[in-house]
Structure 1
């Protein structure tokens, strides 16, 4: 079975899932070794699972393609149907591409990447490229740079080290081995990956020799390669974007190993110092009372804020912070924040001009499948409302987070209701989330006016003097 390295905020829950499905855990932290009573292995992973640096609360899974697919299936079998993002080609894959106009190269039918050093090539040229970036803007390099479990070939004749290699002796040894073979790389260099820090000098030399042999074998294939042929598979990537239900499932898995409050993983999306979370979970282990302690910690997190971030995460991985907004009130799980709007342009979905003094009051109910923005003018007149359909709203340490489900409802100043972007529902990469969005939309169609008026009355009772 594949070897898996697990890092990040979901490490305990995911390690349990991986072990139950028969994977070998490698390069585990001391905490994981202790919790699961497993032996330390320094073997390089076939798959790494870690936090996604671009998607708040997201999981980034990278490794050998067939193993990545199996690991993803294992995770999804436990957390349910979730949104996922997969690049069209693997990272570090080496592909025979076709140069296009405007500095681009086609690496698969209909898939174009920015070509580094494109000034040296003409449209129609065929050349092998290495995919050096596949998340966001695709980028391809004309250098042949395969990657192995211990190292990557790089496009400059030097030796570099992963920032995760800390041991001075390991650093010196890896640089020494790299420099001893730099002339065999034909103007290229080597970057040692974190797994290399565990190698002996002889094994490091063997690993580099095998990479040089791989490089030469790829070069031999080039003369017979056809358009879009994959000369080296590279590493597949899948980003999983958990919602409240998925994170709740991971909370429960973790709770089967160590005491874990509900909302643990959502809080940790933005939490840097975990002392209060650790202490609360110590109390949970002593007292039980999981529901009560979970609710108290979430209330404390929001109650301690003066400015609130609203992490609006789309199912394609895009992230927008609709804040920070000033906390106006928080009571019984209902949070109100205020944002002063800049004049210019129009209010989304309402086609009403944004003017000087306009304010957006966001009414956020923890656990709700919608979030409502009430827009007012400088004199408190109601200008309209925008109701965002989303997954249940979760509490983070600096605010709230949810997944946007594309479709929205707007209520204009005369309380006419309109559904917008309903056609975008089909783009959501999860049947479960589509069904949940449709159910919430059907509920809102008949209740939107009454709900918005109720929110306006609530804001007025808070002394905000909003009128319609």
Structure 2
């Protein structure tokens, strides 16, 4: 398998993939400096890119290769999660416009909905329209955004892209690219034009020919799928989805495992990926520390949470979100709270609760004036929330069992592991949602080792309360 890797996890992933005898191609200048041996300039089987929020990676490409890459990382740590996308990059759908919004339209594609920007279509779009669309920018399941769609069909990768029924401006293409197609022994399928990318300048002719052949095979498959699709298909649905996208979310333990892989290659401070995932400002600071400091003993060092929090937040009186991930990939924001206290390893936040309904598992009515005080300790597998009424009387305590907590400058993040422990106002202890954890494990959303850890943590909390 050949992989092109970009983003904050690139060095660690390059080492892990090369150890597993996978080829890394089109390496960045930094990666070429850090590793021995040459990196070929060839079309990859998979493109691996850090997600915009830096919480994980997207793996895009040939379905077999994507599965191989995802499987290689599945055992990185128990808090490594992966999900296959219902709307992968390059997939083609028959869609129905369900809503027009500012700048574009929402399109139902059957297995999900996407956003079609006005700039990605040549016609005025109205509610109820049916049209063929392609996914150009998929999104992870924990994102609030929709996949971006286009009515213009393209295939290809980082060396060459093929454009269907469109005009390609060859004058703006790099180097010899404008003449490449005529020099190679193979041609794009009828109706498709080649757009050569910047990386093609550094590739051998054989690699360019292979890239064109691979893109042409996908273009031909799309043509065949379009020919077989009903002309007046009424219901939204897939037309072609032989490509694949898998999203991988790294938890705190996963990031530290990636630190170990990176440390075998270059100077790496304790918590390198954990800090970089927090903010771009912190990311730049990490690079400065690693460039000027002696980090020979960094593998034995503790993660400097207090220092990072003092420098980048959260600070007292800051507002942070509780980002509650689910094992099936969804993300729920439980609300925003104000930081009331911060010590060397934790932050405490306070939320004003809105009246109505009851508190989960506690069964206690939510009243006006209620507050929730939550303490997040970096790296712990649980966190407590104490509910009080307007007079300060305790109404119950809810202890959430989760993957190790990460307290970033603007959010506390984790993935919920279903089972929880509650302490009622009368002192009664109750353990809840074991059945949900069992179900998640049987469905493959939670690995059995992770599920067992969650059960053990819940038992410990239950006995401690």
Partner Cα separation in structure 2 for residue 82 and residue 183 of structure 1 = 41
What displacement does 1:299 show?
Answer: 0.9
The residue aligned with 2:325 is 313
Q: Which position in structure 1 is the counterpart of 2:455?
A: 438
1:68 paired residue number: 66
Corresponding residue number in structure 2 for 1:260:
268
SS in 2 for 1:147: strand
Q: Give the direction of change, closer, same or farther, for the CA distance of 1:11–1:289 in structure 2 (3 Å limit).
A: closer
Distance 2:455 2:263 in 1: 32
Cα distance, 1:345 vs. partner? 4.1
Question: What secondary structure sits across from 1:170 in the alignment?
Answer: coil
Q: Deviation at 1:445? A: 2.4
2:317 paired with 1:300 = no
- Asked if the contact 2:174/2:197 (under 8 Å) is kept, the reply is no
Q: What is the TM-score of this pair, normalised by structure 1? A: 0.72
Query: Mapping of 1:30-109 within 5 angstroms?
Result: 30-53=29-52, 57-79=55-77, 82-88=80-86, 90-93=88-91
Q: Report the secondary structure of 2:156's partner residue.
A: coil
- TM-score relative to the length of structure 2: 0.73
1:455 corresponding residue in structure 2:
none
- Counterpart of 1:147 in structure 2 is 155
Instruction: Give the secondary structure class of the aligned counterpart of 2:155.
Output: coil
Contact 1:261–1:284 (8 Å) recurs in 2: no
Provide the C-alpha distance between the structure 2 equivalents of 1:113 and 1:203, rounded to a whole number of angstroms. Answer: 36
Q: Please state how far the C-alpha of 1:105 moved relative to its aligned partner.
A: 6.7
Cα shift readout 1:120-156 (whole Å, capped 9, x = no counterpart): 77xxxxx9986667755998999794622322546x7
Note the aligned Cα RMSD (angstroms): 4.7
Whether contact under 8 Å (1:80, 1:246) holds in the other structure is yes
Deviation at 1:34, TM superposition (A): 0.8
State the distance in 2 between where 1:194 and 1:234 align: 26
- Separation in 2, partners of 1:205, 1:75: 31
Name the CA distance, whole Å, in 2 between partners of 1:275 and 1:140: 30
Gaps of 5+ in 2: 100-106, 117-124, 182-186
Could you tell me which of 337, 354, 375 is aligned with 2:366?
Answer: 354
Change in 2 beyond 3 A, CA 1:387/1:283: farther
Q: Which has the higher helix share?
A: 1
Match for residue 174 of structure 2? 170
Change (3 A) 1:32 1:415: same
Q: Report the CA distance between 1:219 and its aligned residue.
A: 3.5
Q: Which residue number in structure 1 is paired with residue 346 of structure 2?
A: 334
Name the counterpart of 1:235: 243
1:285 to 286, 294, 308: 294
Q: Aligned pair in 2 of structure 1 residues 174, 113: CA closer, same or farther (>3 Å)?
A: farther
Give the C-alpha shift of residue 447 in structure 1. Answer: 2.4
